[in-house]
Amino acid sequence: MGKIIAVSNQKGGVGKSTTVVNLAAVFGSKGKKVLIVDFDPQGNTTTSYGIKKKSIRNTVYDVLMGDCGVFEAVVATEFRGVSVIPTTQELSGAAVELVGMQDRAKQLRNCLEPARDFYDYVFIDCPPTLDMLTINALVAADSVIIPIQCEFLSLEGLVELTQTIERVRKSWNPGLKTEGILFTMYVERYKVTGQIAAEVKKFFPKDVFKTVIPRNIALSEAPSFGKPAMYYDPKSKGSKAYEDLAKEMVKKKV
């Protein structure tokens, strides 16, 4: 049975989509069957895999609203082992539509259940909000990866997100685990980087990944070519960092 991992942080621009895109590529390259659920209306993950939005027949919105089954929305990519359920801006209205539904917090979980038996990993790219979309993602997930940038405001966001995760555990998903807190866009020479990293480790000593993701040009450029970084520049520090992260996750028996 596959594992569902949400990648979440309500603060935008911290590397959620980058993490989903590149972790999925690494696991796929190792022979795992991977599904990405692009649950962010911005659709950055969809674009990063070279999927043209005009060519999309069904999206995660259609799945969520019950207009099609999960496998009817899956788009195969040219990259080994990875498929995507794409999204469009239409998903942004789903948070409001979900409010009127019965079991509204469990809609995505119910939709994704059939995929567990087919995929080894399902990664959910969450929106930069703490609305009903993110709640749905956390309820559907077995665990959550929290990417954060080493800056002061990230600490406030991290506390808020961990409180939301705890509410989700109490109300809908008692088995939800924190897979790990991931430092992204990491610049070791910046003094503030070390200060924030130390603070996070002090408050969450067991939850921080040893691997850090550096600020790296290949990670920034690859999406514009519709490729994960390991296919755009396999020797880049960013590519190697995500390979290290995948190895660390495997050692933790993810």
Q: What is the pLDDT of residues 63-86, one digit of tens each?
A: 999 999 999 999 999 999 999 999
Domain boundaries, the chain: 3-251
Name 232's Cβ contacts closer than 8 Å, sequence gap at least 6. 218, 221, 222, 225, 239
Neighbours of 187 (CB within 10 A): 12
Superfamily of domain 3-251 in CATH is P-loop containing nucleotide triphosphate hydrolases (3.40.50.300)
Q: What is the pLDDT of residue 156?
A: 79
Q: What is the pLDDT of residue 176?
A: 97
- Token duo for residue 191: 């003094």
Q: What is the pLDDT of residue 22?
A: 98
3-state SS record for 217-232: HHHHHHHHHCCCHHHH
Say yes or no to pLDDT of 253 above 80. Answer: no
| 143-188 residue pLDDT tens | 999 999 988 877 878 988 999 999 999 999 999 999 999 999 999 8
| Residues across the chain | 254
Q: How confident is the model at residue 3 (pLDDT cuts 50, 70, 90)?
A: very high
pTM: 0.96
Say yes or no to pLDDT of 106 above 80. Answer: yes
Say yes or no to pLDDT of 128 above 80. Answer: yes
Q: What is the pLDDT of residue 140?
A: 98
* Contact predicate 3/137, CB 8 Å: no
Say yes or no to pLDDT of 16 above 90. Answer: yes
Q: What is the pLDDT of residue 139?
A: 98
| Lowest pLDDT segment from 24-38, 41-55, 149-163, 176-190 | 149-163
Q: What is the pLDDT of residue 80?
A: 98
Say yes or no to pLDDT of 24 above 90. Answer: yes
| 91-104 residue pLDDT tens | 999 988 998 888 89
